[in-house]
Chain A
């Protein structure tokens, strides 16, 4: 932390973001989120996809207005795009028809900064961020790392008070990402950045521990702040240091802790039916792969998630869904940052193709309510067909359209693997395999 006396720049209280759904229940993206952002700190928002952290970033930027809650910038309520914030995007979001120079100048020109001053500032930002010599290049001529540097320069040149970063390094390869991180951290520690605070979204636990002074860990569906962690390690931080590792392990544990049942808003509120739980599509190849890895002599049925993540270069968004899917299916248990095989999981790993499918089908019907629901409905239907629209409609009553489609895709691919039922894209309906 740079300063000892910290003034509050940004304050969010009781922020809730929800969309009304036909079922009468709101689909809640963010629920009761509090956040303060102080002068001189880097704050990380860490969570899985679907935890609403990107939405939160856009609320701070004033691009999204929360359904309810109090958003204040220097004590003033925010309405419309916030002054003094600039954003860096995961996708870089550069204008492909503008050169590096013109991209950096865009924000200044929009604000009507006089040309002389604008050019001086642009040059300064380009030098600072290590882009000199690339001024006349178009984004498509640049590598990913260079493109993101343009993204940084474009954000810094407007001298924002807060720099917002939406997973700025996740589209880059490992080495490039590390270079950019350390470059940015160095500039920040040397106080050469014209900003007072950084708010970043990430799903990379190590990145959060490496860069942030404070980490807010989000839980998903709805997005809530599950924990707030202060990182007191001195800069420059070393990933291999025991304290660093311990903190990473702690956060893994936190994020894999069994989710407590969300408290009901009011005792009379209906809970959605069991089959209307959002699910993430995970390929059965990945599931089988992880089970086989766990069953191999190297792991003896038990592994440390951070270790798996670094061994297979998976970020948490890749690894957690696999682990969680295995847990849902009853093939593995995840707790405190560890994953271990269950008995059926071991059986699966040791079986041949036919036996695996049989086992998978059995667990699918038992443990995935939506699969059981579709299966049962198919059996009852006179012609053994069920239009996908019907199921989708049931799901969208409880979740966003995107999640509903993803959930249905997930169950469809699993059911196809298990040969429980099939899906015909032409008629957009579920049915049974004819050959039986």
Chain B
């Protein structure tokens, strides 16, 4: 697959007025704090939930794997609903977009596992005594790993719908519903599907992490591959870890073949470039469906129903009339006091933001003092240093390798799926192995736990660079050969700039993933042994284990702040530079 989309927030630079970030951060964290406060109050008399104990019998794994997959799909459905509403609102209303996009940016910076810490008590309280609450918390955690970049991708597509197609829709009087399903959603489909797949591939990590959580004195295990792994760790059974790894491999393979590829191949038809020359992604399952009369007949009624639903005329004639009558009003609103309406809107938002920020601060202050804040920032610095060093090391290794692989089409074809597969594989399944090794050789956890953070995410760098090198124009390659450019000059003047835009895409994803992974990677267990590295991730993990909410909020606020700053000060300028100077064709 050689088409890569980025929809990480770095791309939305133009759409994001900076002063809104100042508001967005306290707004998001403050709201989460409010949820945590509410949940804790509700949760006081909560009974611990009786769940079926997880058994380490390998024959139970198919059942567990199925449950994990279902959680994943439920989260995907929720993410789609979120994307269609949130991103649409942000794209259609200038004022909403002004707030929603920076908020999305912050939501994306909050570590995914942080959401669990906040919300698990809330969800448990929502369904007292039922396993439903824990399920919701896990699904919500997976949702938070998927929804944001899907929403970003969809938002960007909505903002770039070609003007002529828009005018066709206007000219034929498409209703809002018709416009959305006949024009906007199809136009956004390739980017959205790609991001869905990237999200799901990142999601397995969080499925594993969220199935067995301990918050304070509450330990919740949901039957699944993740809880199977947790049980294996508790019982120190390496063979069971092996079975979990195998089960996960099979699940990801199946999901790739049965869902990923068919979807991507199908979405290719929505690409707008009217040239038919590009190679299109293929899927045997989609071919099977499209070329087998039986399957087509089976799904024909569904097809027809969808076809009809798209053209539903939801606008009632009367509503239309009301619309025309209201038009002078909206025109008046649009023209005269735009500044006042804006002003009122800003003021309202500022008040809400201040309130949320204040409640966040006062909540943190209820259980932590200035020394804690200092400590959190210090540990944040340690984690930041780890992320930077790891990204640099991974880049030094994978960029040259990726370029060499990408320039050999046959090799690239073989390596590319493997790299994408490895990116999807939840690296936390392999953590126990690392712990065993560190204990065995008595290594320093501060150093040797760090590579775990990038274990699963380094592949994003690799397969993006491969894609970039594979897409390097052949006329340029010929020119390079013709002028005998080689050695250091070949790297510096030709290949490194050539793959740079792709590299940045991969590195942004890898760095985001590493921040997320730090919460589980800086504090790992094997039976009774717990290895901890000093860092913000282990700080949050520890606070979560102790149910110390003020410190959870503090740690997550600091991490969200650091991630946002890191994106703003490093990745966004790099991305802008790549777009401006180095984009080939």
Contact A106 B172 (CB under 8 A): yes
CB distance from A270 to the nearest CB of B (A): 24
Contact B171 A140 (CB under 8 A): no
CA distance A109 to B173 in the complex (A): 11
| Across-interface contacts of B276 in A (CB, < 8 A) | 140-141
| Across-interface contacts of B313 in A (CB, < 8 A) | 110, 112
Contact A106 B327 (CB under 8 A): no
CA distance A63 to B172 in the complex (A): 11
Known: A112-B313, A140-B275. A158 touches B172 (CB 8 A): yes
CA distance A95 to B174 in the complex (A): 14
CA distance A141 to B275 in the complex (A): 8
Known: A89-B167, A110-B178. A96 touches B172 (CB 8 A): no
- Residue A312 at the chain B interface, CB threshold 8 Å: no
CA distance A89 to B166 in the complex (A): 12
Dominant SS among interface residues on chain B: helix
Contact among B171, B174, B175 for A63, CB-based, below 8 A:
B171
Contact B270 A63 (CB under 8 A): no
CB closest chain-B residue, reference A87: B171
- Residue A79 at the chain B interface, CB threshold 8 Å: yes
Contact A87 B168 (CB under 8 A): yes
CB distance from B166 to the nearest CB of A (A): 9
Contact B170 A63 (CB under 8 A): yes
| Across-interface contacts of B269 in A (CB, < 8 A) | 96-97, 138
| Across-interface contacts of B273 in A (CB, < 8 A) | 96, 140
| Across-interface contacts of B168 in A (CB, < 8 A) | 87, 89, 93, 95, 106
- Residue A61 at the chain B interface, CB threshold 8 Å: yes
| Across-interface contacts of A138 in B (CB, < 8 A) | 269
Contact A95 B183 (CB under 8 A): yes
CB closest chain-B residue, reference A85: B171
CA distance A109 to B169 in the complex (A): 12
- Residue B442 at the chain A interface, CB threshold 8 Å: no
CA distance A329 to B68 in the complex (A): 73
Contact among A85, A139, A158 for B274, CB-based, below 8 A:
A139
Contact A110 B272 (CB under 8 A): no
CB closest chain-A residue, reference B580: A425
CB distance from A226 to the nearest CB of B (A): 27
CA distance A112 to B178 in the complex (A): 11
Chain A 31-58 interface residues, beta-carbon cutoff 8 Å to B? 58
CA distance A128 to B193 in the complex (A): 38
Contact A110 B164 (CB under 8 A): no
- Residue A14 at the chain B interface, CB threshold 8 Å: no
CA distance A139 to B169 in the complex (A): 17
Contact B171 A80 (CB under 8 A): no
- Residue B311 at the chain A interface, CB threshold 8 Å: yes
Contact among B182, B272, B274 for A106, CB-based, below 8 A:
B182
Contact B167 A79 (CB under 8 A): no
Query: Can you give 22 contacting A-B residue pairs, CB < 8 Å?
Result: A63-B171, A81-B173, A86-B172, A87-B167, A89-B167, A92-B164, A93-B168, A95-B182, A96-B271, A96-B273, A97-B186, A97-B269, A106-B182, A107-B172, A109-B178, A109-B311, A111-B173, A112-B311, A140-B273, A140-B274, A140-B276, A158-B172
List of 9 A-B pairs having minimum Cβ-Cβ separation, nearest first: A93-B164, A109-B311, A107-B172, A140-B276, A97-B270, A110-B172, A97-B186, A112-B313, A140-B274
Chain B contact residues, CB within 8 Å of chain A: 162, 164-165, 167-175, 178, 182-183, 186, 189, 269-276, 311, 313, 324, 327
